[in-house]
Structure 1
Amino acid sequence: MILVDTALRHREVEGRPIRVGLVGPGTQGAAIVRQVVTATRGMRIAGIANRHIERAVRAFADVGIEPVLRAGRTRIEEALGAGLAVATEDAIGLAQADGVDVVVEVTGSFDHAARVVLAAIEAGKHVVHMNAELDGTVGPILKAKADAAGVIYSFSDGDQPGVEMNLYRFVVGLGVKPVLCGNMKGLHDPYRTPATQQAFAAKWDQNPAMAASFADGTKISFEQAIVANGTGFRVARRGMLGPDFSGGDPYAPLVPLEETVSAFADTLDASEHGLVDYVVGARPGGGVFVLGTHDDPRQQHFLRYYKMGDGPYYCFYTPYHLCHLEVPTSIARAALFGDAVLTPLAGPQVGVIAVAKTDLAPGTVIDQLGGFEAYGVAENSDRIDADDLLPLGLALGSTVTRPVRRDQALVFADVRIPEGRIIDRLYAEQRARFGRPIPAG
Structure 2
Amino acid sequence: MNLFKKLQERAALGNPIRIGMIGAGKFGTMFLAQALRIPAIHIVGVVDLIPANAKSNMKLAGWSDEAHSAVSLNDAAISGKTYVGDDWQAMITHPAVDIVIEATGNPLAAVTHCLAAFAQGKNVINVTVEADAFCGPGLAQKAAEAGVIYSMAYGDQPALASDLVDWARTCGFSVVAAGRGHKWLPHFRQSTPDTVWEHWGLTSEQAERGRLNPKMFNAFLDGSKPAIESAAIANATGLEAPENGLIFPPGGIDDIPTLMRPKSEGGVLERKGLVDVVSCLTREGEQIPYDIRKGVWVVFEADTEYLKNCFEEYKVVTDPSGKYMTLYKRWHMIGLELAVSVASVALRAEATGAAICFNADCAAVAKRDLAVGEMLDGEGGYTVSGGLRPAVSSVRQGNVPLGLAHNVPLIRAVKEGAAITWDDIKIDRTTDAYKLRTSMEEQLLK
- What's the TM-score once normalised by structure 2's chain length? 0.89
Name the CA shift for 1:134/1:201 in 2 (closer, same or farther; >3 Å).
farther
Partner of 2:56: 58
What's the secondary structure of 1:45's corresponding residue?
A: strand
Partner of 2:362: 352
Q: 2:422 aligns with which of 412, 417, 421?
A: 412
Contact residue 262 and residue 272 of structure 2 kept, 8 A: no
Q: 2:296 aligns with which of 281, 288, 291?
A: 288
Unaligned runs of 5+ in 1: 71-75, 246-254, 437-441
Contact residue 261 and residue 315 of structure 1 kept, 8 A: yes
Partner of 1:336: 347
Partner of 1:279: 278
The alpha-carbon deviation at position 198 of structure 1 amounts to 4.8
Contact residue 297 and residue 326 of structure 2 kept, 8 A: yes
Number of residue pairs aligned between Structure 1 and Structure 2: 418
Unaligned runs of 5+ in 2: 281-287
Contact residue 412 and residue 424 of structure 2 kept, 8 A: yes
Partner of 1:421: 431
Distance across 1 between alignment mates of 2:195 and 2:96:
45
Q: Does residue 90 in structure 1 map to residue 87 in structure 2?
A: yes
Q: Does residue 302 in structure 1 map to residue 310 in structure 2?
A: yes
Which shows bigger deviation, 298-307 or 57-66?
57-66
The alpha-carbon deviation at position 285 of structure 1 amounts to 3.0
Distance across 2 between alignment mates of 1:285 and 1:111:
29
Contact residue 292 and residue 315 of structure 1 kept, 8 A: yes
Partner of 2:130: 133
Contact residue 397 and residue 418 of structure 1 kept, 8 A: no
Partner of 1:157: 154
Distance across 1 between alignment mates of 2:25 and 2:340:
20
The alpha-carbon deviation at position 60 of structure 1 amounts to 4.6
The alpha-carbon deviation at position 262 of structure 1 amounts to 2.9
Q: 1:379 aligns with which of 386, 389, 405?
A: 389
The alpha-carbon deviation at position 193 of structure 1 amounts to 0.4
Distance across 1 between alignment mates of 2:71 and 2:383:
39
Distance across 2 between alignment mates of 1:67 and 1:142:
34
Distance across 2 between alignment mates of 1:268 and 1:36:
48
Contact residue 180 and residue 292 of structure 2 kept, 8 A: no
Q: Does residue 147 in structure 1 map to residue 144 in structure 2?
A: yes
The alpha-carbon deviation at position 259 of structure 1 amounts to 2.1
Distance across 2 between alignment mates of 1:409 and 1:344:
24
Name the CA shift for 1:318/1:406 in 2 (closer, same or farther; >3 Å).
same
Contact residue 46 and residue 84 of structure 1 kept, 8 A: yes
Q: Does residue 47 in structure 1 map to residue 53 in structure 2?
A: no
The alpha-carbon deviation at position 336 of structure 1 amounts to 1.0
Contact residue 177 and residue 272 of structure 2 kept, 8 A: no
Partner of 1:67: 69
Partner of 1:256: 252
The alpha-carbon deviation at position 315 of structure 1 amounts to 1.4
Name the CA shift for 1:56/1:187 in 2 (closer, same or farther; >3 Å).
same
The aligned amino acid for 2:8 is R
Cα RMSD of the aligned pairs, angstroms, is 1.9
Q: Does residue 229 in structure 1 map to residue 243 in structure 2?
A: no
Which shows bigger deviation, 232-241 or 139-148?
232-241
Q: Deviations over 1:116-143 (max 9, x none)?
A: 1111111111111221110001111110
What's the secondary structure of 2:260's corresponding residue?
A: helix
Q: Deviations over 1:205-226 (max 9, x none)?
A: 3111112111110000000100
Percent sequence identity is 27
What's the secondary structure of 2:31's corresponding residue?
A: helix
Name the CA shift for 1:265/1:340 in 2 (closer, same or farther; >3 Å).
same
What's the secondary structure of 1:291's corresponding residue?
A: strand
The aligned amino acid for 1:63 is W
The alpha-carbon deviation at position 69 of structure 1 amounts to 4.2
Name the CA shift for 1:385/1:341 in 2 (closer, same or farther; >3 Å).
same
The alpha-carbon deviation at position 409 of structure 1 amounts to 1.1
The aligned amino acid for 2:226 is I
Distance across 1 between alignment mates of 2:445 and 2:96:
38
Name the CA shift for 1:268/1:164 in 2 (closer, same or farther; >3 Å).
farther
Q: Does residue 397 in structure 1 map to residue 407 in structure 2?
A: yes
Contact residue 263 and residue 271 of structure 2 kept, 8 A: no
Distance across 2 between alignment mates of 1:315 and 1:56:
40
Contact residue 178 and residue 293 of structure 1 kept, 8 A: yes
- What's the TM-score once normalised by structure 1's chain length? 0.90
Contact residue 133 and residue 362 of structure 2 kept, 8 A: yes
Partner of 2:327: 316
The aligned amino acid for 1:344 is A
The alpha-carbon deviation at position 382 of structure 1 amounts to 0.5
Name the CA shift for 1:54/1:391 in 2 (closer, same or farther; >3 Å).
same
Q: Deviations over 1:43-89 (max 9, x none)?
A: 1111101011112333454412132344xxxxx34652454421110
The aligned amino acid for 2:103 is V
The alpha-carbon deviation at position 366 of structure 1 amounts to 0.4
Distance across 2 between alignment mates of 1:339 and 1:8:
15
Name the CA shift for 1:66/1:390 in 2 (closer, same or farther; >3 Å).
closer
Partner of 1:366: 376
Name the CA shift for 1:100/1:242 in 2 (closer, same or farther; >3 Å).
same
Contact residue 92 and residue 115 of structure 1 kept, 8 A: no
The alpha-carbon deviation at position 394 of structure 1 amounts to 1.5
Contact residue 238 and residue 377 of structure 1 kept, 8 A: no
Distance across 2 between alignment mates of 1:66 and 1:427:
37
The alpha-carbon deviation at position 23 of structure 1 amounts to 0.9
Q: 1:240 aligns with which of 216, 239, 246?
A: 246
